[in-house]
């Protein structure tokens, strides 16, 4: 076996690979793309960190490559589609740096609460500025954790040690997981209204971009301090600077920024802000763990065929995977639709297969449903391989069943979401030529496309609904591609397919649709 390591790894990780008899480990950081491509010509594995970009051209230079391993969580620097097309497994090292990031979040919280950087600076300048540096305790305060994954959970556990009350917002975590942590789950607005400190632990997705904008910050408790060790674009930096300068936000601890390094230093120069240059995961321990976890996965795969921490590997043959593509697209679209219809916490997902899909590999299709369910909030690393592990880690029960009945369709997938707000039930089928379609919504038969931008309505079953909604959208220059209606005992449902990029339908448009006299609810869904 020949393993190329193109970025810096700890010696202990390299030694683990070199201990295998007959294995050649070519570990050199800083190679230019041409040299690296030449060195990969006979390689079985490539191990990278963030400095190396694994693009299609580089993969073309490595015809024998079996695995690409990213020593870290994000795989943004690896072309997953190109790797998958070539049958190359892509692995990462999720969670190895969780403790380091969690400790840094607490460090920023303490530094902001006690004005430690200002105190240190005054001492270095020869000033004894004791009177102007009155701080605040963490004890007795409420910490709001936004995103209760591995790092968020680690932050919550450590905050309890400071005597803090911890609340959290995460619609993708089961209630019993939070309960075991001693954490109360709240809506995001309720969390903002109660928290004295807010710590962000979310991925960067369209749904989380500028989640903390001017409007959200205005709904926060006066005097709040905000910590971000996750992704810079979660916060509108200009809005945060305004809120700090106005006194509404007492301060912030920031390790990540929209542009790194920041080109606009207005926020980082504020005395109430403690800023660090994206170093939350930069500890000896984290780097050691990430390196060891990564190369252990590579070794086990090359030596024993064990696949672990893969982000792109289906558990079926390549031929069957191609045959299942239409059903996989349907399954993911149904999961995505169901998740966007309901913002309450999900504690169980039921998936049922009918007709020909009764014989299909349900484990793979159910994983596709889970990918759709979690993708908006977990854009980094959610895949067919790890979707079930993600669900299990968040305490979401997955129940599968099968039926040989066709239910008026040759093949049908039914997805039922069990949440703290009730149940949401969607069903879909694959229409020719391989197009996924919605055929049932909360028990009401309705046929609609499962792609693009949709507005899902619940409305009174009376004349004029199409006209009212169409008038509103027309007034905003939004074209209707299709308008599907279905009738049920409790009223009617509608699915409006619109020709609009995701940015064109804003909250103002949706609010106006909801004010239509016959409309009970309206939700924008993007698939």
Catalytic positions, please?
231, 260, 278
**Under a CB-based contact definition with an 8 Å cutoff, are residues 252 and 244 in contact?**
yes
Phi first, then psi, for residue 491 (nearest 5°) are: 140, -160
Write the DSSP assignment of 412-478 as a string of letters. EEEEEEEETTEEEEEEEEEETTTEEEEEEETTEEEEEE-SSEEEEEEE-SSTTHHHHHHHHHHHTT-
CA dihedral 510, 511, 515, 520 (to 10 degrees): 60
CA angle 156, 105, 70 (to 5 degrees): 100
**Helix (H/G/I), strand (E/B), else coil: 142:** strand
Rg (CA), the chain: 25
**Under a CB-based contact definition with an 8 Å cutoff, are residues 386 and 313 in contact?**
no
Q: What are the residues facing 253 on neighbouring strands?
A: 227, 274
**Helix (H/G/I), strand (E/B), else coil: 350:** strand
Q: What are the residues facing 524 on neighbouring strands?
A: 455
Dist. CA 183–CA 169, nearest whole Å: 10
Taking each continuous run of H as one helix and of E as one strand, the counts in the chain are: 18, 22
The residue assigned the tokens 């009401």 is: 444
Other CB atoms within 10 A of residue 411 CB: 20
Residue 510: burial class (beta carbons within 10 Å; 0-12, 13-18, 19+)? middle
Residue 288: burial class (beta carbons within 10 Å; 0-12, 13-18, 19+)? middle
**Under a CB-based contact definition with an 8 Å cutoff, are residues 472 and 514 in contact?**
no
**Under a CB-based contact definition with an 8 Å cutoff, are residues 33 and 51 in contact?**
no
Name the strand (E) or helix (H) holding 300. helix 284-304
Instruction: List the one residue out of 180, 159, 168 whose CA is nearest residue 103.
Output: 159
Phi first, then psi, for residue 33 (nearest 5°) are: -55, -40
**Under a CB-based contact definition with an 8 Å cutoff, are residues 306 and 119 in contact?**
no
**Under a CB-based contact definition with an 8 Å cutoff, are residues 174 and 153 in contact?**
no
CB neighbour list of residue 12: distance below 8 Å, 6 or more residues apart: 288, 291, 292
Whole-angstrom CA distances from 138 to 5, 113, 301 are 43, 8, 46
């Amino acid at each position: 076996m020949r393993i190329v390591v193109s970025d810096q790894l700890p010696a202990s990780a390299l030694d683990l690979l070199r201990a295998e008899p007959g294995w050649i480990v070519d570990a050199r950081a800083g190679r230019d793309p041409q040299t690296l491509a030449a060195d990969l010509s006979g390689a079985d594995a490539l191990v990278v960190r963030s400095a190396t970009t694994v693009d299609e051209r580089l993969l073309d230079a490595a015809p024998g490559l079996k695995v690409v391993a990213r020593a870290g969580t994000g795989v943004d620097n690896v072309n997953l589609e190109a790797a998958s097309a070539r049958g190359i497994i892509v692995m990462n090292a999720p969670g190895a740096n969780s403790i380091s990031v969690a400790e840094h979040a607490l460090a920023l919280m303490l530094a902001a609460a006690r004005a430690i950087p200002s105190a240190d600076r005054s001492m270095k300048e020869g000033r004894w500025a004791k009177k102007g540096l009155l701080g605040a305790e963490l004890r007795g305060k409420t910490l709001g954790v936004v995103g209760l994954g591995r790092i968020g959970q680690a932050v919550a556990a450590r905050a309890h040690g400071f005597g803090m009350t911890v609340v959290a917002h995460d619609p993708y975590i089961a209630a019993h997981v939070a309960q075991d942590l001693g954490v109360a789950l709240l809506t995001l607005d309720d969390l903002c209204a109660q928290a004295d400190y807010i710590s962000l632990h979310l991925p960067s997705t369209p749904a989380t971009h500028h989640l903390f904008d001017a409007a959200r910050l205005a709904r926060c408790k006066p005097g709040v301090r905000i910590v971000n060790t996750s992704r810079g674009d979660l916060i509108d930096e200009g809005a945060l600077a305004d809120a700090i300068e106005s006194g509404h936000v007492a301060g912030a601890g920031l390790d990540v920024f929209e542009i790194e390094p920041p080109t606009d230093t207005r926020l980082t120069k504020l005395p109430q802000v403690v800023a660090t240059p994206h170093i939350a995961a930069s500890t000896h321990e984290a780097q050691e763990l990430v390196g060891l976890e990564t190369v252990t996965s590579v070794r086990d795969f090359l030596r024993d065929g064990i696949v672990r921490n893969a982000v792109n590997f289906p558990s079926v043959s390549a031929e069957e995977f191609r045959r299942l593509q239409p059903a996989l697209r349907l399954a993911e679209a149904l999961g995505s639709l169901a998740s966007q219809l309901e913002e309450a916490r999900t504690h169980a997902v039921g998936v049922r297969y009918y007709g020909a899909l009764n014989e299909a590999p349900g484990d793979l299709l159910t994983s596709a449903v889970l990918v759709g369910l979690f993708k908006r909030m977990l854009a980094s690393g959610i895949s067919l391989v790890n979707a079930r592990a993600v669900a299990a880690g968040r305490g979401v029960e997955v129940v599968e069943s099968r039926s040989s009945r066709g239910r008026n369709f040759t093949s049908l997938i039914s997805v039922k979401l069990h949440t703290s707000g009730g149940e949401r039930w969607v069903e879909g089928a694959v229409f020719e030529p391989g197009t996924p379609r919605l055929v049932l919504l909360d028990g009401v038969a309705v046929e609609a496309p499962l792609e693009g931008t949709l507005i899902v309505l619940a409305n009174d079953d009376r004349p004029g609904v199409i006209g009212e909604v169409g008038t509103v959208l027309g007034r905003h220059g939004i074209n209707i591609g299709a308008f599907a209606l279905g009738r049920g005992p409790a009223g009617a449902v509608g699915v409006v397919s619109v020709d609009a990029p995701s940015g064109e339908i804003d909250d103002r448009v949706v609010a106006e649709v909801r004010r239509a006299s016959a409309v009970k609810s309206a939700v924008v869904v993007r698939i």
